[in-house]
Amino acid sequence: MLTFFFISLFLFLLLSVLFKFAISDGDFTLLSKRHVKREEIEDKVVWITGASRGIGEILAKQLASLGAKLILSARNEAELERVRKQLTGKYAPEQVKILPLDLTSGEDSLKEVVEKAESLFAGVGVDYMIHNAAYERPKTTALDVTEESLKATFNVNVFGTICLTRLLTPFMLRRGRGHFVVMSSAAGKTPAPGQAVYSASKYALNGYFHTLRSELCQKGIKVTVVCPGPIETSNGSGATTSGAKVSSEKRVSAERCAELTIIAASHGLKEVWISYQPVLAVMYLVQYMPTIGYWLMDKVGGRRVEAAEQKRNTYSLSLLFGEKKTA
What residue ranges do the domains of the chain occupy?
24-230+251-277
256-299: pLDDT as tens digits: 999 999 999 999 999 999 998 888 888 999 999 999 989 888 88
With cut-offs at 50, 70 and 90, classify the pLDDT of residue 316.
low
Architecture of domain 24-230+251-277: 3-Layer(aba) Sandwich (3.40)
Distance of alpha carbon 288 from alpha carbon 282, whole angstroms: 10
Catalytic residues, which ones? 198
pLDDT higher than 70, residue 84? yes
Query: If you average pLDDT over residues 224-239, what whole number do you get?
Result: 76
Angle made by CA atoms 260, 264, 265, in degrees to the nearest 5: 120
94-110: pLDDT as tens digits: 999 999 999 999 999 99
**Residues whose CB falls within 8 Å of the CB of residue 212, separated by 6 or more in sequence, listed in order:** 165, 169, 180, 221, 223
**For position 10, what pLDDT does the model report?**
56
Counting residues of the chain whose pLDDT is more than 70, the rounded percentage is: 82
Question: What is each CA distance from 161 to 107, 149, 201, 208, 229, in whole angstroms?
Answer: 11, 17, 11, 10, 20
**For position 21, what pLDDT does the model report?**
41
* Residue 3 or residue 300, greater confidence: 300
How many Cα neighbours within 13 Å face the side chain of 249? 26
In the chain, DSSP assigns E strands to 45-49, 69-73, 97-98, 128-131, 178-183, 221-228, 231-232, 252-253, 271-274
Q: What does 174-207 look like in DSSP terms, one character per residue?
A: HHT-EEEEEE--GGGTS--TTBHHHHHHHHHHHH
- pTM of the shown model: 0.87
* Residue 236 or residue 106, greater confidence: 106
